[in-house]
Amino acid sequence: MRLNHSQAGGWGRRGECPSASQPPPSCETSVVRFPEESIREHPGWEGGNGLFPGGTSSLTGCMLQASMRSSNMETFKQQKVEDFYDIGEELGSGQFAIVKKCREKSTGLEYAAKFIKKRQSRASRRGVCREEIEREVSILRQVLHPNVITLHDVFENRTDVVLILELVSGGELFDFLAQKESLSEEEATSFIKQILDGVNYLHAKKIAHFDLKPENIMLLDKNIPIPHIKLIDFGLAHEIEDGVEFKNIFGTPEFVAPEIVNYEPLGLEADMWSIGVITYILLSGASPFLGDTKQETLANITAVSYDFDEEFFSQTSELAKDFIRKLLVKETRKRLTIQEALRHPWITPVDNQQALVRRESVVNLENFKKQYVRRRWKLSFSIVSLCNHLTRSLMKKVHLRPDGDLRNCESDTEEDIAKRKALHSRRRSSTS
């Protein structure tokens, strides 16, 4: 059963038109400001700024972070990054970030340089709070694992913080899968196992990623039979402290856990829910909770409203379904932990029969590819439409000439828009 908008409950209005006093909006539809943090939204969500009932604005959140942080700020190199690296072609761009390929002069090794635009004042809405950048860098400096992207260096100038990151050039996992002719569950679990290994490492350090989704699961090199997976984008990651309650509303709606939607205390369990959604999509091409509107998506999540449609799961093993069921559990205490997920017989068969079932069961690649292509086209179309809409709205408010601010209307998030990948709701028809 699908819940309608009125049943979603508890979520305030979003997507209000910007006032003339506000800076021009970008066309980035996956970032909206909520209590203390940015919420990276699904491309179908409206853009603009929003408030959670009883919450604070992102500006206030930055001020709170600034007042609470210790005097021991993260220190970044103040030298020019160009003195140490040859900066090359652009790899992607976001609302406040540009990623370029670079080569270290001293070694000749290639990396990815992520230029993050800093917020210049507390009153500004443009750029990223330094406190948020510090948190991301602090987490990246703690991690070193084969399935997690590596931070190599950090530079800072007046306008930007530049992260020198491991170059991950194999593209997204789902891009790779969409090119395959066939895929067994045994092959699929080899990828899921790598995701679990990376998350296991993070969770052992009490780090929650909070933005696990297909766009953040990349391949180091796609030109090998079983490519090496890398988890990327730690912009929403947090260290979970024992005895410290942490609440927030952020992430990509299609993949967020019910406790995020309900503004309840958050922990490592939220990542496990996201892994369940990713696995569901990987096996079927369908998305378990994605509705026609953001409210419907959120309502489906809080109601845990999903099923295994025979149309999409006719060749899926019961072991695989059991793995997903035990991850998509509303009560966090009953949801699989990362260790339990790694021990699940679908990931680690306990006998030859389980291994055989996994080997003979296949992924629904036909539907996976169909939905992949459709969603890619729809997302590209929606980006252009939204850009045009926002530009026209802004012109009416500030009486700009038609060519006045069109350059501000551009694709924004590196993952959600520049790549334009995701999958379509399983409930929509082929003509939708």
pLDDT of 359-401, one tens digit each? 889 898 888 888 777 656 554 544 454 445 445 555 554 454 4
pLDDT of residue 108: 98
* Closest by Cα among 40, 36, 41 to 59: 36
Q: How far, in Å, CA of 106 to CA of 85, rounded? A: 8
C-alpha distances in angstroms, 403 versus 24, 394, 398, 407, 409?
A: 14, 12, 13, 8, 11
Binding site residue list for ATP:
118
C-alpha distances in angstroms, 260 versus 149, 159, 270, 319?
A: 25, 33, 8, 28
Per-residue pLDDT tens digits for 186-215: 999 999 999 999 999 999 999 999 999 999
From the candidates 160, 175, 211, 416, which is the catalytic residue? Answer: 211
The token pair that represents 395 in the structure block: 């012109």
pLDDT at 67 over 70: no
Averaged over 160-184, what is the pLDDT? 93
Q: How far, in Å, CA of 107 to CA of 81, rounded? A: 15
Q: How far, in Å, CA of 199 to CA of 36, rounded? A: 25
pLDDT of residue 213: 96
pLDDT at 308 over 70: yes
More confident residue, 62 or 16: 62
pTM (predicted TM-score): 0.73
- CA 362-365-368 angle, to 5 degrees, is 135
pLDDT of residue 263: 97
The DSSP line for 222-272 is: SSSSSPPEEE---TT-EEPPTT-------S-GGG--HHHHTT----THHHH
Averaged over 60-86, what is the pLDDT? 67
What whole-number percentage of the chain has pLDDT above 90?
59
114 by DSSP, 3-state: which? strand
| Phi, psi of 192, deg, nearest 5 | -60, -40
* Residue 327 buriedness (CB in 10 A; 0-12 / 13-18 / 19+): buried
Q: How far, in Å, CA of 130 to CA of 160, rounded? A: 10
| Phi, psi of 353, deg, nearest 5 | -65, -45
| pLDDT bucket at 420, cuts 50 / 70 / 90 | very low
| Phi, psi of 271, deg, nearest 5 | -65, -35
Q: What letter represents residue 397's amino acid? A: K
pLDDT at 258 over 60: yes
| pLDDT bucket at 71, cuts 50 / 70 / 90 | very low
Q: How far, in Å, CA of 306 to CA of 337, rounded? A: 21
Query: Which domains does the chain possess?
Result: 1-15+25-32+40-62+168-432 (1.10.510.10), 81-166 (3.30.200.20)
Average the pLDDT over each of 67-76, 233-242, 251-260 and give the range with the smallest value.
67-76
Averaged over 299-324, what is the pLDDT? 96
pLDDT of residue 374: 66
| Residue 211 falls in the annotated catalytic set | yes
* Closest by Cα among 195, 200, 243 to 216: 195
Q: How far is CA 175 from the centre of its chain?
A: 16
**Would you say the C-alpha torsion 141, 146, 149, 153 has a positive or negative sign?**
positive
pLDDT at 285 over 50: yes
**Strand partners for 238:** 208
281-314 burial code (b ≥16 CB/10 A, e <16): bbbbbbbbbbbeebbbbbbbbbbeebebeeebbe
pLDDT of residue 73: 56
Q: How far is CA 70 from the centre of its chain?
A: 28
More confident residue, 116 or 37: 116
Q: How far, in Å, CA of 4 to CA of 2, rounded? A: 7
Radius of gyration of the chain (CA): 21
pLDDT of residue 262: 98
Per-residue pLDDT tens digits for 41-59: 333 333 332 223 233 334 3
341-371 burial code (b ≥16 CB/10 A, e <16): beebbbbebeeeeeeebbeebbbbbebbebb
pLDDT at 278 over 90: yes
